[in-house]
Amino acid sequence: MTARRRRRAPPAEPEYRPGQLLDWSNGSVHWSSRELPCRYCGFPTNLRDSRMKPAHKVCAEYALAIQAAEAQAAYRQEGPA
């Protein structure tokens, strides 16, 4: 007799809290002496994302949270492949 697999409940909706997604502790990668406008909010920043584009950490995390929520909504709409 084979065991029956139970379907897992979908994960709870993640709540976005600033500071929980990205680790920018390596200053040599995420810091520049030149201020440029953030790619998300437009305010000046010395911080750089992983692609070396100017971005505040909080702005980048917020953009990732929105992207993840949109992907989750699309997945629920279309269903698993």
pLDDT in tens, 20-55: 667 777 777 889 999 999 999 999 999 998 889 999
pLDDT band at 13 (very low <50, low <70, confident <90, very high): low
* d(C-alpha 68, C-alpha 22), whole Å: 14
Count of beta carbons in the 10 Å neighbourhood of residue 16: 14
pTM exceeds 0.75 for this model: no
